[in-house]
Amino acid sequence: MSAGSANAAASSVNVSSSTKSLRVFGDEIWKNKTAKINAELFTLTYGSIVSQLSTDFQRNFTKVNEKLFAMGYNIGTRLIEDFLARTALPRCENMVKTSEVISKCAFKIFLNITPQVTNWANNKEAFSLLLDENPLSDFVELPMDAVKELWYSNILCGVLKGALEMVQLDCDVFFVNDVLRGDQSTEIRIKLNRVLKDEIPAGED
């Protein structure tokens, strides 16, 4: 399937059929359109940042969490432009579609992983991403004083928050679990607060 037809299909309203093609679409872009770099260097660089912050904040990990989130937020507000330029995907009509795009396109294109979407709230406005793999934290072990407080990959929540806000979705994004803290899974929760209707650019329907 060509990327073109995948894109056309991705904009179709039928969620079940677009689920598959979004995956193909994301894979295609990752494979053919995205320049890549050694993931270990990425892991190491991120480790160096967290390490530096831990020192800067005198191992106050609550502050480190906040700082990582703030850094992620800045990244998200920029990264969304890259994502849109690369994919030209249309606005998602609901959170179900949003979750698919985040997992199968965004995570795929930037980090080459596809988190599972799960734990939907009844109103279909909150869901969880389960990260089976996480290039930010490969081979990381938390020191004993950090294991209960630090959300090592908290930058991801910030990125999601920032990126979603730029497409006018006001969401809460936070870690629920992290294998680094001894949990069974790594889970990020995304909860839609409201659609920022006033900020949707004029010219869209």
Partner 1 sequence: MAIQTILVINKSGGLVYKKEFLNGGHRLTSNEYLVLAGTLQGVIAIAGQLTPKALQITKNSGIKDVTDQETLVAYAGPLGILESQDMGSFMLPDYFTESFKSWNTSGLKHITTDQLSLFVFQSLTGVKLVAISTQNSISNVAVSIAENLLRKVYCLYADYVMKNPFHEAEMPIKCTLFDKKVAEMVSRL
Partner 2 sequence: MVMLVFAIVNLTNFSVFTMPLVILELDLTGNERYPLMSRKIISPSTSVGQTSVAGTTGYDYTIGAQKTLPNRQQEDPLAAALYNHSLHPHARRPQVSISAYAFLFQEMVSLAVNTSKSVTEIENKLHRQGYALGPRLLELLNFRSSVTATSSRALFGKSATGPGGLGGPLEDSLASSITAMRRRDLRVLEILQFVHGPVWTYMFGRQGDDLVKSSERENEYMVVDNLPLLTQFIGHGNVQCDAFVCGIVEGILDGASFPCKVTAHAMPEDQHDRRVVYLIKFDHEVLQREALRF
* Binding footprint of partner 1 on the chain (CB under 8 A): 2-4, 6-8, 11, 13, 32-35, 77-82, 84-86, 88, 90-91, 166-167, 199, 201-205
Instruction: With beta carbons less than 8 A apart as the criterion, state whether 9 and 21 touch.
Output: yes
Interaxial angle between packed helices 15-28 and 3-10, expressed in degrees from 0 to 180 and rounded to the nearest 10 = 140
Nearest CA among 190, 188, 168 for reference residue 178: 188
The CB density around residue 96, as the number of other CB atoms within 10 Å, is: 16
Give the three-state DSSP class for 43: helix
Amino acid symbol at 202: A
Nearer to partner 1, 13 or 144 (CB): 13
71 binds, among partner 1, partner 2, none (CB under 5 to 8 A by kind): partner 2
Q: Would you say 3 or 135 has its CB closer to partner 2? A: 135
CB of 8 to partner 1, least distance (A): 7
Q: Give 11 or 45: the residue with its C-beta nearer to partner 1.
A: 11
Q: How far apart are the first and last CA of the chain?
A: 29
What 3-state class would DSSP assign to 204?
strand
Binds 24, which of partner 1, partner 2, none (CB < 5 to 8 A, cut-off by type)?
Answer: none
- Interacting span for partner 2 (CB under 8 A) from 13-21, 34-42, 168-176, 191-199: 34-42
DSSP 75-114: HHHHHHHHHHHHH-PPPPSSHHHHHHIIIIIIHHHHHS--
Binding status of residue 24 toward partner 2 by CB under 8 A: no
From the list partner 2, partner 1, none, partner contacted by residue 116 (C-beta under 5 to 8 A by kind)? none
- Least distance (Å) between residue 30 CB and partner 1: 10
Task: Write out the binding residues for partner 2, residues 111-130 only, by CB under 8 A.
Answer: 111-113
Residues 133-192 that bind partner 2 (CB under 8 A): 133-135, 137-147, 155, 179-180, 182, 186
Q: Which residues contact 160 (CB under 8 A, 6 or more apart)?
A: 72, 76, 102, 171, 173, 188, 190
Residues forming contacts to partner 2 in the complex (CB under 8 A) are: 30, 34-52, 54-56, 59, 71, 74-75, 78-79, 82, 86, 109-113, 132-135, 137-147, 155, 179-180, 182, 186
